[in-house]
Amino acid sequence: MKNTTKLAYHTEDGKLVKLNTYDDECLWSGRWQNEREQNRFDELYVHVTRGGKRIFYIAYVTYWQGESNEITVLEDPQKWVEDNYHRLSSKQIARLEELEIKVEETA
């Protein structure tokens, strides 16, 4: 069974959103780094509300006894993508662009 992390999150306008790594789309996972499986890692998810709003969040996943998984909602998903661009495959970048998160060269 997949390791599931959940969070009830209130948006800026006070609406309740239920984030759930089992149901939401994982856009990137740090589970495999340097050809080794990690037992602590981050994953990038997107949740699309019934109204069509996209909420991007990071799930911290741990398989260590006594530690808990956590979800952090990204205030600026564009910044996260820019900071982690080197970790993303071309397929992942294309999917993010479909979700209107683009990394465009400005120089």
- Each residue of 19-71: pLDDT tens digit? 999 999 999 999 998 889 899 999 999 999 998 999 999 999 999 999 999 99
What integer pLDDT is reported at residue 35 of this predicted model? 87
CB-side neighbour CA atoms (13 Å) of 78: 5
Rounded CA separation 82/57 (Å): 15
Q: Would residue 22 count as lying in a domain?
A: yes
Q: Would residue 30 count as lying in a domain?
A: yes
Rounded CA separation 52/101 (Å): 15
Q: Would residue 1 count as lying in a domain?
A: no
Q: Would residue 50 count as lying in a domain?
A: yes
Q: Would residue 106 count as lying in a domain?
A: no
Bridge partners (DSSP) listed for residue 92? none
Please give the tally of structural domains in the chain: 1
Q: Would residue 58 count as lying in a domain?
A: yes
Mean pLDDT of the chain: 92
Q: Would residue 105 count as lying in a domain?
A: no
Mean pLDDT of 74-102: 95
The terminus-to-terminus CA distance of the chain in angstroms comes to 46
Q: What percent of the chain has pLDDT over 90?
A: 78
The pTM for the full model equals 0.90
Helices within 1-107 (DSSP H only): 77-83, 90-98
Cα-based distances in Å from 8 to 71, 72, 76, 78: 10, 11, 19, 23
Tokens of 28: 């990137």
Q: Which domain holds residue 32?
A: 6-98
What integer pLDDT is reported at residue 31 of this predicted model? 92
